[in-house]
Structure 1
Amino acid sequence: MQWASKEQLTDLLCEMVQIPSISGSEAEKIFPTFVEQKLRTLPYFSKHPEQIELHDAGSGMRLLSALVRNKPEVRETIVLLSHFDVVDTSDYGDFQQFAFDPRRLTELFRSQPEVLPPEARHDAENGEWLFGRGVMDMKSGLALQMAMLERASAGEFAGNLLLVTVPDEEVGSAGMRAAVPALLALAERYGLDYVTVLNSEPGFPKYAGDHSNYIYKGTIGKMLPGFLCYGKETHVGEALAGLNANYMVSRLISEMELNTSYIEKVETDITPPPTNLLLRSLKNDYSVQTPYRAAAMFNLLMLERTLEETIESLLATANQAARHIEADYAVKARACADYAMISIPDLHIKVLTYEELHQYAVATYGQERVEALAGKALKVSGPAGDRDTTIAIVDELALLCKELGPMIVLFFSPPYYPAVSSRHDPFIQKVADELADYAAQRYGMKIGQENFHRGICDLSYVGTAGQSAALQLLAQNMPMWEKGYSIPFKELEQFIVPVLNVGPVGLDAHKWTERLDVHNAFVVMMDLLPACIHTLFHKHNAAIPESEPAAIQE
């Protein structure tokens, strides 16, 4: 066995981390070839080379699948899911050159503990923690899964294991969205029945100092709602004759930011309130014309709230902001009238969805003109990528339909992550309970059970029944839908599989103090993860090998 001991797995992890596979980089494109080369050193893949494949994920990216079959007649298959891209390293400051050299970085932190925050300092001095970009999120999980594949190739498990490792999880999950049709094709080709999609993302601490292991039965959802505010242009010398869009968007942000009505609670899982992620004034030059177009986007996390309910809430917030703007404008206009003879305009702000704006534009100006404007906007390339392009499309239609102004238009931007949970699945609940009992008996450790992984992850693209209707509503209000971004919702309706996340303990994902508990990852999890796989197969009526390893397909 080449990936069995703590030392061997640490070496493998460090090799993988040294490939700086930042999302969108050339290293991200070559990384799956490295994994392929490593896996092909296993004797099993010398006999079955066709069972490792690289699949196109768009923009030069590729995902990797590697299948180890127990016997030709065995259909039960566990999908081991992971991602290999990482976020950039600018947050490391003076230590950036060592961010992808875990051993060297850890030595530096151990020799200069004063540079670290107190908790990270303690872990550096502990000797069991490894620092570096990607050690936690999530190349340690990939290393564990490669070890499981090696054990499967030696006949340890009663069913098949299919490793799927993907790019782009940290940006838009293009890798996982491409993986769904690939998984369906692999099931058809090899006669596979998917028992579970088992992810190995690290757990997220619930409070400061939390070093607990968690089993997650799903993952939180994320959407990026946006509002385009279209006011009325005027000369700064006649400010009350217009409506400043920057003022409109500021009031909208005031209504949305940390709005507790959007907090969702499911058992012990609680979402954080929304927060603004992007703010744009669409006046790009300087002049004495007031800005009359602006846009804002918000991070909104969800658990079980439907898309219909969410849109209703967002429209209600926009209407509340609109009424506040109207009232405030009237008060200030009357106050200004005390100083000069001015007319007080009757201001009314419309609130509508992108779908409503689009339908009006097509009905009034024709499909051909609307499509031409969208094509023009699709050429817009800004620092926020798809977000800037989305705003450009909405802006073009708002400019075309200026007679509707002043208005607030609700739209959605990529990416969209559906919330997924198998918390009601008795099969998954039984496996989680048995794994927690095993950990308690074997290690005296308590494993927490959570319904949703709080770090957004690719389990969102494992299908659940009834997802198509919700995604169709999203598509109607997402300007970039099938114009560079889409979700394979038809395939998701065929890829309805229970999900589970069992991964190592790590801390500070996406921070310069990102680190991994190596003992937990490569000693404890090297016992718990195979125990989980055995239990999954056993609960799916597959025989667990008792003394002799199961025969491997030759």
Structure 2
Amino acid sequence: MKWQTKSELKSLLCNLLQYKSISGSDDEIAVVEYLYHLLKSEAYFQENPHHLKTDALDDGRQLLTALVKSQKPTKKTIILLSHIDVVDIEDYGSFSNLAFHPLELTEEFNQQKHKLPDEVQADLESNGDWLFGRGSMDMKAGTTLHMSMLERAINGEWDGNIILLAVPDEEVNSAGMLKAISTLNHIKEQEDLEYILCMNSEPMFRQYPNDPNMYLYSGSLGKILPGFLCYGKETHVGEPFHGLNANLMISYLNTNLELNETLMEKVGDEVVPPPISLMNRDLKDRYSVQTPVTAVSMYNVLMMEQSVQQISQKLYQIMEKTKSQIEQHMIRQSSYFSEVAGDERESVEFEVSILDYDQLYEEAVNRYGQHEVQRRLNLLLHDREQGDRDFGTLIVQELAYLCKDLAPMMVMFYSPPYYPSVSSRTNQLVTGLCERVSDYMKEEFNLEAKTINYFNGISDLSFIGNDPHKQSNIDELSKNMPLERLGLSFLDSLKTDLEVPSINIGPLGKDAHQWTERLEMNYSFEELPSVLSMAIREAFLKSD
């Protein structure tokens, strides 16, 4: 075997890291082809070539599946899930040329410790063995470990089947995992398999700065991306009270939404991070002295047990609060201006309308008819150059133009991605497995590992677990996602059933998505392989 020792795993990881597989790049395709090349040379796949496959997404990217059947015939199968894409490297600055060269980057950081944050310097001076580079922690170390487990399966280590699944696009829209649902169902039917567990190896994420704990996860947080289009009333800068600036509207909305406490859901001891803005701008194409008519903001909202509908209701309440603040702001400021100017002008009063996308769409259809609205949207689609989020915003803006007499208005809508919230905390196999793994880590390595219900880094496990609000969430998103009515939505993929108990047992690292991203290799490549092997063995034994 060639992917078992620490040095062998480090070598494989470094080879994977040299592929600049930023989501949407050519190397995102190339790294899958490299994995395929590595595996097809294995004797097992030479004898069983139909067990090693790539499956193409609509855009030409590929996912990879590698099935190794047990020497003892059985239906029991464990899925090993990882993603091979990484985020961009703009944050590396002067070190960007080394971001995909982990050995050289690690050497450079050791030579320039004084330029690194204090915690990174402390790690380099500790007993840890750290490897830096984009994807080292998130999550090509996980893919490396799964290749090691697949090799053990080929060697007959367990009485059960292993299927390795490596997907693209986890960092953006999870298009790879959405495609994998049908792929896995096809393999299950074709090979007569029973999926007893999906094991992900996303890295452990700290719950707070300098968190020393190690974690196992029995599920994954959900995520939605609500957007808000503010449509004001244009005016010349010399007549500011003749209009309502969309930037003012969006500013009040941002103040009320950013880190909002009503959306900080708590389940047991776990609390989701509060909402935070991921995009905020006005939609003027060029500079002029006309005030911006439209502005948009999109928010990352995480969830555990709440449904999308419940969150929508809370967001609507925040919009109502914002509406009142905007209206009072204009009355207050115009009154003050009149007082200072020494005249008796009436205070300016605006009434802000509040809608969701479904209401705006129906309003446009009532005014212009279904055919005309669809014609306009089809024209936008024909000329489309934007990504999903910007194109969704353009659709909302187009319908708002059709109903501009409702302005000033705020319109709430949803954009991709969407990650269902899933947890296997009530599944006996998973809860027992978490206890056994924790005991093993304590007994063998004197390590304390806590089990928590939701992986807080967002993962593809969302699409393979049990979502108790599945249909109601899909219904709510379908109504208020602009791409859905043009047949561009991914929501249909979620209607396909594939529910498998899941667990995340991952490597140790720090600073995912940062220029100091790093993997600790003593634990990840010396101790964790035996933990994963034990967990797989226990899962097969306890799944009866």
TM-score range relative to shorter protein: over 0.9
Q: CA shift at 1:459, angstroms? A: 0.8
Q: CA shift at 1:456, angstroms? A: 1.1
Change (3 A) 1:206 1:345: closer
Change (3 A) 1:490 1:133: closer
Q: CA shift at 1:257, angstroms? A: 1.2
Question: 2:512 — aligned with what?
Answer: 509
Kept after mapping to 2: 8 A contact 1:278/1:298? yes
Change (3 A) 1:281 1:506: same
* Greater Cα shift, 174-183 or 479-488: 479-488
TM-score (norm 1): 0.94
Question: 1:474 — aligned with what?
Answer: 477
Question: 1:310 — aligned with what?
Answer: 311
Q: CA shift at 1:41, angstroms? A: 2.3
Q: CA shift at 1:519, angstroms? A: 1.2
Question: 1:458 — aligned with what?
Answer: 460
Cα distance in 2 for residues equivalent to 1:150 and 1:407: 59
* Greater Cα shift, 15-24 or 463-472: 463-472
Change (3 A) 1:92 1:285: closer
Q: CA shift at 1:280, angstroms? A: 2.1
Question: 1:373 — aligned with what?
Answer: 376
Cα distance in 1 for residues equivalent to 2:154 and 2:136: 25
Q: 1:522 aligned to 2:525?
A: yes
Per-residue CA deviation, residues 321-358 of structure 1 (Å, 9 max, x unaligned), is 00111112112222233333434454211111101111
Kept after mapping to 2: 8 A contact 1:148/1:530? yes
Q: CA shift at 1:410, angstroms? A: 0.4
Cα distance in 1 for residues equivalent to 2:474 and 2:128: 47
**Counterpart amino acid of residue 391 in structure 1:** T
Give SS of 1:225's match.
strand
**Counterpart amino acid of residue 524 in structure 1:** E
Question: 2:363 — aligned with what?
Answer: 360
**Counterpart amino acid of residue 511 in structure 2:** D
**Counterpart amino acid of residue 451 in structure 1:** N
Q: 1:484 aligned to 2:485?
A: no
Question: 2:121 — aligned with what?
Answer: 121
Question: 2:175 — aligned with what?
Answer: 174
Question: 1:414 — aligned with what?
Answer: 416
Q: 1:537 aligned to 2:503?
A: no
Give SS of 1:188's match.
helix
Cα distance in 1 for residues equivalent to 2:261 and 2:10: 43
Question: 2:75 — aligned with what?
Answer: 75
Cα distance in 1 for residues equivalent to 2:398 and 2:338: 35
Q: CA shift at 1:426, angstroms? A: 2.2
Question: 2:47 — aligned with what?
Answer: 47
**Counterpart amino acid of residue 501 in structure 2:** P
Q: CA shift at 1:435, angstroms? A: 1.0
* Greater Cα shift, 464-473 or 143-152: 464-473
Kept after mapping to 1: 8 A contact 2:330/2:348? no
Change (3 A) 1:196 1:22: same
Kept after mapping to 2: 8 A contact 1:62/1:166? yes
Change (3 A) 1:346 1:83: same
* Greater Cα shift, 478-487 or 91-100: 478-487
Kept after mapping to 1: 8 A contact 2:72/2:160? no
Identity %: 41
Question: 1:7 — aligned with what?
Answer: 7
**Counterpart amino acid of residue 204 in structure 1:** F
Q: 1:387 aligns with which of 372, 386, 389?
A: 389
Kept after mapping to 2: 8 A contact 1:373/1:397? no
Give SS of 1:237's match.
coil
Change (3 A) 1:354 1:441: same
Cα distance in 2 for residues equivalent to 1:296 and 1:397: 17
Question: 1:66 — aligned with what?
Answer: 66
Q: 1:397 aligned to 2:408?
A: no
TM-score (norm 2): 0.95
* Greater Cα shift, 482-491 or 239-248: 482-491
Question: Structure 1: where are the runs of 5+ without partners?
Answer: 542-554
Cα distance in 1 for residues equivalent to 2:391 and 2:72: 48
Give SS of 1:205's match.
coil
Kept after mapping to 2: 8 A contact 1:136/1:507? yes
Give SS of 2:482's match.
coil
Q: 2:431 aligns with which of 425, 429, 432?
A: 429
Give SS of 1:251's match.
helix
Kept after mapping to 2: 8 A contact 1:76/1:195? yes
Q: CA shift at 1:364, angstroms? A: 1.7
Question: 1:215 — aligned with what?
Answer: 216
Q: CA shift at 1:483, angstroms? A: 4.1
Q: CA shift at 1:24, angstroms? A: 1.2
Q: CA shift at 1:407, angstroms? A: 1.1
**Counterpart amino acid of residue 322 in structure 1:** K
Cα distance in 2 for residues equivalent to 1:358 and 1:458: 31
Change (3 A) 1:186 1:399: same
Give SS of 1:94's match.
helix
Question: 2:286 — aligned with what?
Answer: 285
Cα distance in 1 for residues equivalent to 2:27 and 2:493: 30
Q: 1:500 aligned to 2:503?
A: yes
Q: CA shift at 1:124, angstroms? A: 2.4
* Greater Cα shift, 483-492 or 422-431: 483-492
Question: 2:441 — aligned with what?
Answer: 439
Kept after mapping to 1: 8 A contact 2:71/2:159? no
Kept after mapping to 2: 8 A contact 1:468/1:490? no
Aligned pairs, number? 538
Cα distance in 2 for residues equivalent to 1:116 and 1:368: 59
* Greater Cα shift, 119-128 or 56-65: 119-128
Give SS of 1:523's match.
helix
Give SS of 1:448's match.
strand
Cα distance in 1 for residues equivalent to 2:114 and 2:167: 37
Matches within 5 A, 1:115-154: 115-125=115-125, 126=127, 128-154=129-155
Kept after mapping to 1: 8 A contact 2:330/2:349? no
Kept after mapping to 1: 8 A contact 2:509/2:517? yes
Cα distance in 1 for residues equivalent to 2:238 and 2:128: 66
* Greater Cα shift, 257-266 or 209-218: 209-218
Give SS of 1:283's match.
coil
Per-residue CA deviation, residues 30-79 of structure 1 (Å, 9 max, x unaligned), is 11110011112221111101111111123221000010111584111111
Give SS of 2:57's match.
strand
**Counterpart amino acid of residue 122 in structure 1:** A
Q: CA shift at 1:264, angstroms? A: 1.0
Question: 2:300 — aligned with what?
Answer: 299
